[in-house]
A and B are shown apart, each in its own frame.
Chain A
Amino acid sequence: MILSPAERAYLYESLVQKPAIRPGARSDHQFRPLEAKTGFLPNSNGSARIRLNDGSECIISVKSKVVVTRGESSLIEVDIDVPGFRDDSNFVSNLKFSLTNLLITKFPVEYLRLTSKYSFKLFIDCIVISHSSYPLSLISLTSYLALKTTRLPLLTSEVNDEEIEEQPTFSDDWDNAKYIHPTFQPPIFITLGVIGENLLFDPSIEEEQVLENGLILSFYKDKVITPIINMNLATNSNNSNFKGLNQKLIIQSINLCNKYCPAIIKALDTLIEQDDENDDTDNHIF
């Protein structure tokens, strides 16, 4: 996306004001509204879809498989598909690495342990149907919904199977299936744009074009955790404003996330509750 010099100048001037005047009049800590839905893929253990007003959209499926724990290097496998980008492109590899890394380091793997020998392995498949701004935060919020609504079949065989040859068995009744863990809360990524002294949550693609820097923070269990990454969020653009990052802003960004992210988690959880209530009435994706 290329803006004209006058457009860039106007946008930059507006965003460095205190408080920033964003094109859609959002306050600096306001996310773009989301539309979300969960549990629409009957063949998956969990599924979620999020769409933004600008048409950006991500669909995620979580599927499980019973594996021998010792034979697996990781119990979580993430795959991301972005149309128009090759799977081995930098763009896709970066997204995939970031999400995998966050989930693997922060996922309480013990929840996936079935027996002394066996575990569930989760396959998290993301399709970014379309995107305009940097999609990592969108993907991670969708994965939050998908993982939180993932249900795994109930184990009916012995937990201690050290001496037993048979594979674990499960209840046939899907109603007995359990969520990963009642208190389980997947980690998420939050994108912040840095411009002047302002930190803008969830920058849109136009805003990305004039940012001085971009920050991606991870948020887990009510607080900011590592990794915290900085990057130029605008891909394929003529952003000439990009520059170094003031360390004070990093501290400030952590404080802001600690303050506002619980609201995001709360909103996501509320949606899950609503989807849970009217479970069978509406199974359409669109």
Chain B
Amino acid sequence: MSRMELYSPEGLRIDGRRWNELRRFESRINTHPNSCDGSSYVEQGNTKVICMVQGPMEPSSRSQADSAGATIEVNLSVASFSTFERKKRSKSEKRMVEMKATLERTFQQSVMCHLYPRTLISIDIHVLAQDGGLLASMANAVTLALIDAGVAMYDYVSCISVGLHDQTPLLDLNGLEEQDISTLTIGVIGKTEKLALLMLEDKMPLDHLESTLGIAIAATHRIRDLMDDEVRKHGNLRSSKLAKN
């Protein structure tokens, strides 16, 4: 297949976006109120992720009871139909294991785990469709589901992927772009510039790293605001519903 033009001289990408434009971001909180403590649904472009949180709760095995703080366990399941070509994925696939570990590490830091000694926070993620930026969408969904579960966190963790095409950073890559461009995924704590998550598996020239990170951080702040809107909308509705005696 001939190499597609990922970034035209006019400054347009294959899906018509400019370099600094995000894809459509939609999120819902409390999507599964009857089956778990917290839940969310995130769509970033055509990537669609469901997240469900159980806990903090009594762990089923004593090995998960840590007196210093909560244990966070992430279970990832990627549907066979999530890609255009159907493919059955095993949970032990290296990429899956890596993402699971990354998410566990990220949220072990961002959740105030010390408040919940000897408990387990179990996070189930279902990927229904993937089209680039999978790790970012999953982390955003986890943040929302944890907030829905009422788990104490220092701040939102908002995530985005960014690529470097020649010298131009491209925000929020879709699946096609991700195949050909070096990709960096970052997760930022709230409106700060502190990184809770960083994943770079490809080569990226060091002298462009700073500008790339800069634009990515700005994008995560935007994502944070979008998620915050959804949380507030839902929260205000809900708090007004409870009768006050």
Contacts and interface: CB of A to CB of B under 8 A. Distances in A.
Interface string B24-41: 001010011111100001
B34 A59 contact: no
B77 A130 contact: no
B86 A130 contact: no
A248 interface: no
Interface string B117-151: 00000001010110000000000000000000000
A61 interface: yes
B221 interface: no
Nearest to B75: A83
Nearest to B90: A87
A41 interface: yes
Contacts, number: 67
Interface in A111-164: 123, 125, 127, 129-130
Interface string A253-286: 0000000000000000000000000000000111
Contacts of A63: 81, 86
A56 interface: yes
Interface string B42-81: 0000101010100000000000000000000001010111
A43 B75 CA distance: 24
B35 A285 contact: no
A206 interface: no
Contacts of B31: 286
Given A41-B128, A43-B129, A83-B75, A130 B81 contact: no
A285 B41 contact: yes
A123 B88 CA distance: 11
B154 interface: no
Contacts of B33: 55
A123 B81 contact: yes
A55 B75 contact: no
B35 to A, nearest CB: 3
Contact of A41 (B28, B35, B77, B129): B129
B35 A43 contact: no
A70 interface: no
B75 A41 contact: no
Interface string A33-49: 00000000111100000
Interface string A54-67: 11110101010100
Contact of A57 (B26, B35, B84, B129): B35
Contact of B77 (A42, A65, A83): A83
A125 B87 CA distance: 11
A240 interface: no
Interface string A206-229: 000000000000000000000000
A53 interface: yes
A92 B46 CA distance: 29
B126 A130 contact: no
Contact of B80 (A42, A65, A79): A79
Contacts of A130: 32, 35-36, 52
Interface of B: 26, 28, 31-36, 41, 46, 48, 50, 52, 75, 77, 79-84, 86, 88, 124, 126, 128-129
29 contacts: A41-B129, A42-B46, A42-B129, A43-B82, A43-B83, A43-B84, A43-B129, A44-B81, A54-B35, A55-B32, A55-B33, A55-B35, A56-B35, A59-B79, A61-B80, A61-B81, A63-B81, A63-B86, A81-B79, A83-B75, A125-B79, A127-B77, A127-B79, A129-B32, A129-B35, A129-B50, A129-B52, A284-B26, A286-B28
